[in-house]
Structure 1
């Protein structure tokens, strides 16, 4: 007996066309294109059993959930599920593309740390003025540094692996203690002694505002805060005076608020390097996301719980 064909709703935007090719390799599926900005789905689209939000600005189709009467799964292309978790009913499987972002994001983290240690922002300012800045700045080395990585998932562990290549030492913290990973209760005691703090944790009620004034005060003088997780994990108002005084430095791919308004004081902090939530945005990342998504959907179609399924609703 031939298995029924399952409709998978996939964005028709340019960044998502690669996903059509990847998902068409699954057996007994029909890839149904849709516009993430549309107000109303067609009857054919509404019959889909799986919804994939688009690669960019993935929250846009949330309003379409109520039109999908046969929906059984929402498959995200992001590493976290915070933008969707509250809106997807608990009876519907919600899965992420955890693992696909580890390479690109860890590469960004490493580049951000080296940018601060090697004083590239200062050098570019000298260059803009035509100044040969020999002995006018103090660079530092990554070798021998200790890094605290908050978030021990695929991204956090890949960051640790890459730091190790440069002779740095990593301490990992996760939502629960295990083997070589500290639990959250130990965090306040182990922050000091690390010259680099990297945030790769997902946004949850427990991590929201985690890096607040007390956390920041415990960081070593001249330490670097690197946020590649979510902006709301760091208390911006608490971070600003630490940057303004020059006691701490930061490299931020995510901010709160986001996008950062043109007149926000974070822009003017010389100790901060800011990128526009683009740590994963390099060639090939969207294909990696769709490959992980295809694995999760294949498990769902086999009647299994996808490895990247998350609790929600």
Structure 2
């Protein structure tokens, strides 16, 4: 009897998937495409929410691999203890770096150069010129220097920043310079004109950007969040932006989706995009390539890429 593979992309869109499996398409529809108990490789539907993503897992008694199409796996981690021992949870490293880094730069430039104000003026048919800061000669701090953080620095390079500092969970050296540990943030924040968050959401980073973190940022600095909304304490951020001391560009928020009437919508100096870092034209080809490569490894009993956790 063959085993099942559930994919969030229709199987007929792939070329030459490994033989020996029955492939089923499931994008979070109310009805399952097959018996979950036969699934050995579960490709998680993309951006359908935690409730849908974990819904079939209690019945997937034979599953061996859970492959997300997101860089963060915080939605899936709570379900890991309920899975059979040895299930590998894999993230989508390699899928979102380009598009998320693009958006980080777009949000930074739009905020600094006053693009939201230009759009509002255009809507009103008004010519409003004025002085705006440039990214050139600014000091940038990247908090979360994994694949996405590195891709952000790739795109910062042509903009003639005065300095780029890097922070990650632990210290290391790179060809571009040192990566500082989280413990160095208090010393680095006061020098940064732009702080870009690209860190995963973990116990160590949940609420990392709270009142103390924000108070150490220099007057007029810009906070850019392309990580997860819960990395930032929303109440503390509101206290800073409502006075005009800081500005923010947020692709993610807490809560998310941001409800109508929430004060962040109308806070001065705040630009909000609706978690748009990943879903672009760059997503699907990279996602399909990752899924196929993982299935080839799985079929050949070879080590998988991007394993971030294994169930006990």
TM-score of the two chains, using structure 1 as the length reference: 0.90
Worse overlay, 165-174 or 201-210:
165-174
2:236 alignment partner in structure 1: 238
- In 2 relative to 1, CA 31–23 (structure 1 residues): closer, same or farther, beyond 3 Å? farther
Out of 4, 10, 26, the residue aligned to residue 7 of structure 1 is: 4
- Where structure 1 has 5 or more consecutive residues not aligned to the other structure, the ranges are none
2:132 alignment partner in structure 1: 139
Does residue 92 of structure 1 match 2:78? no
- In 2 relative to 1, CA 164–175 (structure 1 residues): closer, same or farther, beyond 3 Å? same
Q: How many residues align?
A: 302
Shift of 1:223: 0.8
Matches of 1:293 and 1:174 in 2, distance apart?
Answer: 28
- Contact 1:225/1:251, CA 8 A, preserved across alignment: yes
Does residue 30 of structure 1 match 2:10? no
Matches of 1:183 and 1:210 in 2, distance apart?
Answer: 13
SS of residue paired to 2:196: strand
1:123 alignment partner in structure 2: 118
- In 2 relative to 1, CA 141–175 (structure 1 residues): closer, same or farther, beyond 3 Å? same
1:81 alignment partner in structure 2: 73
- Where structure 2 has 5 or more consecutive residues not aligned to the other structure, the ranges are none
Matches of 1:162 and 1:104 in 2, distance apart?
Answer: 11
- In 2 relative to 1, CA 281–34 (structure 1 residues): closer, same or farther, beyond 3 Å? closer
Shift of 1:32: 1.6
- In 2 relative to 1, CA 312–191 (structure 1 residues): closer, same or farther, beyond 3 Å? farther
SS of residue paired to 2:244: coil
Deviations 1:227-285 (A, max 9, x none): 00000000000000111111111110000000101010000113000011111221131
Matches of 2:27 and 2:136 in 1, distance apart?
Answer: 48
Matches of 2:146 and 2:201 in 1, distance apart?
Answer: 13
Worse overlay, 173-182 or 119-128:
119-128
Does residue 177 of structure 1 match 2:171? yes
SS of residue paired to 2:236: helix
